[in-house]
Amino acid sequence: METLFLDLGLPHTLSSFLAMTVWAVLLIHFLAIYAGVTSWVERRVAAKMQSRVGPNRVGPQGILQWLADGVKLILKESIDPEGADRFMFYLAPFLMVCGVFATFVVLPWGSFIIPADLNVGILYLISITALVVIGILMAGWASNSKWALLGGMRSAAQIVTYEIPVAMGLLPAIMAAGSLQMGHLMAAQGWAPWEWFAFQNPFAALSFFLFFIGSIAESNRIPFDLPEAESELVAGYFTEYSGFKFAAFSLAEFGNTWVVGAVTAAVFLGGGNLPAFLGESAILSLVVFTAKTLFAVFLLMWIRWTLPRFRIDQMMDFSWKYMLPLAFVAFFGQAIYMMLTYESAMAQQIISHGMFLVFLLVLFKFTGRVMLNVREQLSPVNSPASDLVAPAQPTVETEAQAVTE
Amino acid sequence: MNKELTTQFMTINMGPQHPSTHGVIRFIIDTDGEIIHRCDPDIGYLHRSIEKIAEKVTWQGFVPYTDRVDYLCAMNANWAYSMAVEKMIGVEAPRRAEFIRVIVAELNRISSHLIAIGTTAMDMGAFTPFIQLLREREYINDLLEMASGARLTYNYICIGGVMADLPLGWSEKCEEFIHHFDLAMEQMNRLVTYNQIFINRMANLAVVSPQMAQAYNLVGPNLRASGIKRDVRRDAPYSVYPELDFEIPVGKGLEGEVGDCYDRFFVRVEEIRESLRILRQCLKMIPEGEVMAKVKKTIKPPAGHYYVRHETPRGDTGYFIQSDGTTSPYRLKIRSGSFTGMSIIGELAKGTFIADLVAIIGSLDVVAPELDR
């Protein structure tokens, strides 16, 4: 985008400033709209899974529900709890939004569009998300509520714990690409599934799982939603928030799903790479990338509405006792794999194709199970075919009929 | 100067408005971080003085109030009270009525257990199973509505029989439901009961030893989960239960010690299966005939006191009735399983996490209206 302004004959500093401004405005609006629409999508998806209807009143299929919610939240009175640390209480939700929003700097939009392709891209992303935990801690501490305090403390423990497996899970990919830069990470993969990093070798697949699970934990979603555990801590760290500040928390929470999805898509699922015969279309690449991201977001929703929640000690155990050692296995395994197959492109091809076949098999099995569940759920109950036989009754002219006649 | 760091207990007020106390129950908990050091249940928020009302209404007039004692199993409560009064006035319900009573009561037991296991799953964070079980419960409500005309407070079983005969074609509907529900329950087991995260949360938590269970006078599934095979339907049989073939599931310590939260959960899952068995048998055995015995309009039981035990989903529910020979009870006392379940929570919660307290409440199936009456 900077070149666009340079072509207009503007000086270098001004054009880069303008480019950044345009990006910021675009991305802020994207984040807000995406978070809103996702909140509606999530509610509809959850409703589908739970044999409910979900919000379907505002607009076609209820698609404008998020606007109604947003307007309602902005108009609502913003309540300060008694004894709250007002400054921190006000600052916390916006720190969280900042933490999520700042990651958009390095998030790619397909293979060709990246707001700022920093050379420390992925490292920047891991570190800037730590801002979220400060926001949560501040919210929990400043609310002067015991439930919020517990939520904040849980969150601090959880995010610090899971940041390590997440970073370790990204390491094999960084090793394979030889760069921290988002563009390079994507370019190291191909368009076909067997060229994706997630299926490159068993250790890469393992690191993919570790990264994805850790990301769920970092974005505070079930089974790791302990900081906001509804049935335990009422609403966790945002118990005392209302109005616009509450909306800011939701914005950060749903915005975070995109971050997780985009990183997953870029680093593990081949980014926006297109097959050679399609040429270098930025739009097509954007579409492919968005589709992959949204699929990852859907996975997040699916997991959220299926699993129960961990307990705090089990959550810690899971990370330190299982995920961290496995992350080391993935790390060293990837190193050994790279060393062994360094000179043999053939072996690399065979392993990655094999991995993809294994994945297809698992998918096949899984689909079978899902179909079984669906079939069982459709077994007839309370069907009209077996409706009650009403005993023969003399027809009585109702009052309404009498009036019309 | 050698100052030691001291920490204070944090006193948290859990309830009466808290998402997982299901109704209005309050716990005052002292915690050290997340670990509970004292848990003090505070009850009485849902007291509606039902026992006192009984002294002011006629014998038949109290039946609708029994619906409200425990609205999750109104049929069982109806039945328990009706059985007590029938015993007092020496009336016996017709055989068909007894079968209808067993059928609707077992259906109600299933729906009550569905809420129990559903809310436990919801407290563990699994929201979808709860809603899916509510959907199954709606089918039961449909069936009960076809029979009684109401979905929650039925007022169907009355002194001397049942209000009305089952509509034509009802048993086919019921069989269809049983077939569907068998599959749905298996699905729900795959979703929750055998879920490793769920098992980890519930197993080895809040173990109630048989001695402790008896000392605290636990009843019903809570007692059976501790390995004590006690069920009023077997020990002091009433109605047509002696003719029916069913098992009494007890806690076996499947994933941990006998009497832990998982056992209490699993006993309820098994009881649902047994109830389905009973239903299948009853639908085959049900005879034709009258559904209402001849009962006088004005009931005046002889003076004296009576105690009737009845197995509701919450366990051994007792109706103690003192009559002075007039048209309304002199004193009526309801003994409920929720109350004893509540009394053990303070003991069990010591040294557990806040998240565990939620699991304990859920697994003991404490229902607020029955607790306070």
Query: Which residues are CB-neighbours of B336 under 8 A, at least 6 positions away?
Result: B69, B70, B314, B317, B370, B371, B373
pLDDT at A3 over 80: no
Q: Decide if A321 touches B, using CB distance below 8 A.
A: no
Collapse the DSSP code of B323 into the 3-class scheme (helix H, G, I; strand E, B; otherwise coil) and give the result.
strand
Q: Decide if A64 touches B, using CB distance below 8 A.
A: no
CB A175 within 8 A of CB A337: no
pLDDT of amino acid A399: 47
How many CA atoms, within 13 angstroms, populate the side-chain half-sphere of residue A387?
4
Q: Decide if B124 touches A, using CB distance below 8 A.
A: yes
* Pair type for strands B304-312 and B161-162: unpaired
User: Is the CB of A305 less than 8 angstroms away from the CB of B127?
Assistant: yes
User: Is the CB of B172 less than 8 angstroms away from the CB of A312?
Assistant: no
Q: Report the alpha-carbon angle A354-A355-A356, nearest 5.
A: 90
pLDDT band at A57 (very low <50, low <70, confident <90, very high): confident
CB B114 within 8 A of CB B138: no
AA letter at A62: G
Least confident segment among A217-231, A374-388, B115-129, B175-189: A374-388
Residues of B in contact with A383 (CB under 8 A): 176
Structure-token pair, residue A199: 């299926």
Nearest alpha-carbon partner for B220 in B311, B347, B307, B309: B311
CB A190 within 8 A of CB A277: no
Q: How far is A146 from chain B (nearest CA, A)?
A: 7
Q: Decide if B183 touches A, using CB distance below 8 A.
A: yes
pLDDT band at A116 (very low <50, low <70, confident <90, very high): confident
State the ipTM, two decimals.
0.81
CB B26 within 8 A of CB B17: no
pLDDT band at A394 (very low <50, low <70, confident <90, very high): very low
Comparing alpha-carbon positions, the chain B residue that sits nearest to A46 is B128
Structure-token pair, residue A30: 């994207």
DSSP state of B191: I
Residues of B in contact with A147 (CB under 8 A): 12
Q: Decide if A317 touches B, using CB distance below 8 A.
A: no
Least confident segment among B11-15, B20-24, B110-114: B20-24
Q: Decide if B126 touches A, using CB distance below 8 A.
A: yes
Tell me how far apart the alpha carbons of residues A41 and A44 are, in angstroms, rounded to a whole number. Answer: 5
Q: Decide if B180 touches A, using CB distance below 8 A.
A: yes
Of A229, A305, A379, nearest to B180 by CB-CB distance is A379
Of B123, B176, B353, nearest to A231 by CB-CB distance is B123
Q: How far is A151 from chain B (nearest CA, A)?
A: 10
Q: Per residue in B43-73, pLDDT tens? A: 888 888 888 888 888 888 888 888 888 888 8
Comparing alpha-carbon positions, the chain A residue that sits nearest to B358 is A232
Burial of A265 (0-12, 13-18, 19+ CB in 10 A): buried
Mutate to test the interface with B, among A48, A49, A158, A381 (most CBs of B within 10 A): A381
pLDDT at B126 over 60: yes
Residues of A in contact with B121 (CB under 8 A): 308
User: Is the CB of B183 less than 8 angstroms away from the CB of A379?
Assistant: yes
AA letter at B23: G
Mean pLDDT of B11-22: 80
Of A311, A380, A391, nearest to B176 by CB-CB distance is A380
Tell me how far apart the alpha carbons of residues A386 and A376 are, in angstroms, rounded to a whole number. Answer: 19
pLDDT at A278 over 80: no
pLDDT at A387 over 60: no
Least confident segment among A64-68, B47-51, B241-245, B369-373: B369-373
Of A49, A153, A379, nearest to B128 by CB-CB distance is A49
Kindly give the interhelix angle for A86-102 and A243-263, rounded to the nearest 10 degrees: 30
Number of neighbours of residue A370 by Cβ within 10 angstroms: 10
Mean pLDDT of B81-100: 88
Mean pLDDT of A381-395: 56
Domains of chain B: 49-336 (1.10.645.10)
Task: Choose between B164 and A399: higher pLDDT.
Answer: B164
Q: In what order do the strands lie in the sheet with B331-335?
A: B304-312, B315-323, B331-335
Q: b or e along A315-343 (b: 16 or more beta carbons within 10 Å of the residue's beta carbon)?
A: beebbeeebbebbeebbebbeebbeebee
| pLDDT above 90 coverage of chain A, percent | 3
Mean pLDDT of B290-319: 85
Q: How far is B160 from chain A (nearest CA, A)?
A: 25
User: Is the CB of B125 less than 8 angstroms away from the CB of A382?
Assistant: no
- How far CA B72 is from CA of B135, B180, B246, in Å, comes to 15, 22, 23
Task: Choose between A391 and A35: higher pLDDT.
Answer: A35
pLDDT at A91 over 70: yes
pLDDT of amino acid B234: 84
pLDDT of amino acid A388: 59
Residues of A in contact with B119 (CB under 8 A): none
Q: Per residue in A287-312, pLDDT tens? A: 888 999 999 999 888 888 888 888 88
User: Is the CB of A308 less than 8 angstroms away from the CB of B192?
Assistant: yes
pLDDT of amino acid B1: 57
Rg (CA), chain A: 25
pLDDT band at A384 (very low <50, low <70, confident <90, very high): low
Residue-level length of chain B? 373
Question: A289-292 long-range CB contacts below 8 Å, 24 or more apart?
Answer: A289/A108, A289/A109, A289/A110, A289/A111, A289/A262, A289/A265, A290/A109, A290/A110, A292/A261, A292/A264, A292/A265
Q: Decide if A303 touches B, using CB distance below 8 A.
A: no
Tell me how far apart the alpha carbons of residues A159 and A218 are, in angstroms, rounded to a whole number. Answer: 5
DSSP H or E stretch at residue B334: strand B331-335
> Residues of B numbered 225-244 whose beta carbons fall under 8 angstroms of chain A's beta carbons: which are they?
none
Mean pLDDT of A72-76: 88
Tell me how far apart the alpha carbons of residues B189 and B198 are, in angstroms, rounded to a whole number. Answer: 11
pLDDT of amino acid B315: 83
pLDDT of amino acid A223: 82
pLDDT band at A362 (very low <50, low <70, confident <90, very high): very high
Q: Decide if A323 touches B, using CB distance below 8 A.
A: no
Residues of B in contact with A230 (CB under 8 A): 19, 125
CA-based torsion, A207, A213, A217, A221: positive or negative:
positive
CA-based torsion, A302, A239, A165, A317: positive or negative:
negative
DSSP H or E stretch at residue A141: helix A130-142
pLDDT of amino acid A405: 45
Comparing alpha-carbon positions, the chain B residue that sits nearest to A315 is B197
Comparing alpha-carbon positions, the chain A residue that sits nearest to B141 is A382
User: Is the CB of B19 less than 8 angstroms away from the CB of A231?
Assistant: yes
CB A111 within 8 A of CB A272: yes
pTM for the whole thing? 0.85
Tell me how far apart the alpha carbons of residues A110 and A291 are, in angstroms, rounded to a whole number. Answer: 10
DSSP state of B24: S
Least confident segment among A90-99, A378-387, B28-37: A378-387
Q: Decide if A310 touches B, using CB distance below 8 A.
A: yes
Q: Decide if B123 touches A, using CB distance below 8 A.
A: yes
User: Is the CB of A225 less than 8 angstroms away from the CB of B125?
Assistant: yes
A:B CB pairs within 8 Å: 127
Of B125, B132, B139, nearest to A50 by CB-CB distance is B132
Q: Decide if B122 touches A, using CB distance below 8 A.
A: yes
Q: Report the alpha-carbon angle A376-B103-B174, nearest 5.
A: 35
Nearest alpha-carbon partner for B63 in B319, B366, B364: B319
CB A362 within 8 A of CB A209: no
B33 Rama sector, left if φ>0, alpha if ψ -120 to 50, beta otherwise: left
Residues of A in contact with B135 (CB under 8 A): 50-51
| pLDDT above 70 coverage of chain B, percent | 99
pLDDT of amino acid A402: 46
DSSP H or E stretch at residue A332: helix A324-340
AA letter at A56: N
Q: Decide if B142 touches A, using CB distance below 8 A.
A: yes
- Supply the DSSP string of A154-184, one letter for each residue: HHHHHHHHHHHHHHHHHHHHHHHHT-S-HHH
Comparing alpha-carbon positions, the chain B residue that sits nearest to A384 is B173
DSSP state of B302: P
Mutate to test the interface with A, among B39, B119, B193, B354 (most CBs of A within 10 A): B354
AA letter at B259: G
User: Is the CB of A52 less than 8 angstroms away from the CB of B131?
Assistant: yes
User: Is the CB of A231 less than 8 angstroms away from the CB of B146?
Assistant: no
pLDDT of amino acid A390: 52
Query: Which residues are CB-neighbours of B119 under 8 A, at least 6 positions away?
Result: B22, B130, B362
What pairs with residue B320 in β-bridges?
Answer: B307, B333
Residues of B in contact with A48 (CB under 8 A): none
Q: Decide if A227 touches B, using CB distance below 8 A.
A: no
Comparing alpha-carbon positions, the chain A residue that sits nearest to B189 is A373
pLDDT of amino acid A386: 53
pLDDT at A204 over 70: yes
User: Is the CB of A309 less than 8 angstroms away from the CB of B124?
Assistant: yes
> Residues of B numbered 15-54 whose beta carbons fall under 8 angstroms of chain A's beta carbons: which are they?
18-20, 33-34
Tell me how far apart the alpha carbons of residues B96 and B238 are, in angstroms, rounded to a whole number. Answer: 15
Mean pLDDT of B106-126: 88
pLDDT at A397 over 60: no
pLDDT of amino acid A361: 92
Q: Per residue in B324-372, pLDDT tens? A: 888 888 888 888 888 888 888 888 888 888 888 888 888 888 888 888 8
CB B163 within 8 A of CB B142: no
Tell me how far apart the alpha carbons of residues B79 and B311 are, in angstroms, rounded to a whole number. Answer: 10
Nearest alpha-carbon partner for B80 in B218, B238, B224: B238
Residues of B in contact with A52 (CB under 8 A): 131
Query: Which residue, chain included where needed, has tokens 């309801």?
Result: B334
CB A52 within 8 A of CB B131: yes
Domain ranges of chain A: 1-75, 79-366
pLDDT of amino acid A396: 47
